[in-house]
Amino acid sequence: MSFIRSKALRRLAQEPMSMRRLAEELATDRPYTTVFVDDLEQRGLVVRRPDPSDRRGKIVHLTPAGRKVAEQAELILDTPPDAFTRLSAAELRRLEEILQKLD
């Protein structure tokens, strides 16, 4: 699964949202958002329901399977690569300083 699809699932795990808002949150254009939401829907990970405040719009919701995939993605992203576990506390602090300079 692509990073943008897993990012969408992780974002939708926080709350359902409109297609427009999802595109804004992910900084993607609307046509591309439709493409990957279509794919997630075909996989059974999301459903689109009518927006009660805008009859033309849709709200994207996670399915139970989508919630599981979002949780798995969070676990993967929260687990540091093995190489980081071999660094000392001092080395990790130094790495953080270097990365902050790159930001």
Decide: 18 and 37 in contact? Cβ < 8 Å: no
| Per-residue pLDDT at 75 | 92
| Per-residue pLDDT at 55 | 84
Decide: 1 and 19 in contact? Cβ < 8 Å: no
Widest Cα–Cα separation across the chain: 56
Q: How far from chain centre, in Å, is Cα 43?
A: 16
- Residue 41 contacts by C-beta under 8 Å, 6 or more apart in sequence? 47, 48
Q: What is the mean pLDDT, run by run of 10 residues, along the chain of 103 residues?
A: 94 96 96 96 97 91 98 91 91 93 87
| Per-residue pLDDT at 90 | 94
Decide: 61 and 16 in contact? Cβ < 8 Å: yes
Six-digit token string for 66: 């989508």
Could you give the CA distance from residue 66 to residue 14 in angstroms, rounded to a whole number?
A: 12
Domains of the chain: 3-102 (1.10.10.10)
| Per-residue pLDDT at 78 | 87
Which amino acid, 21? R
| Per-residue pLDDT at 33 | 96
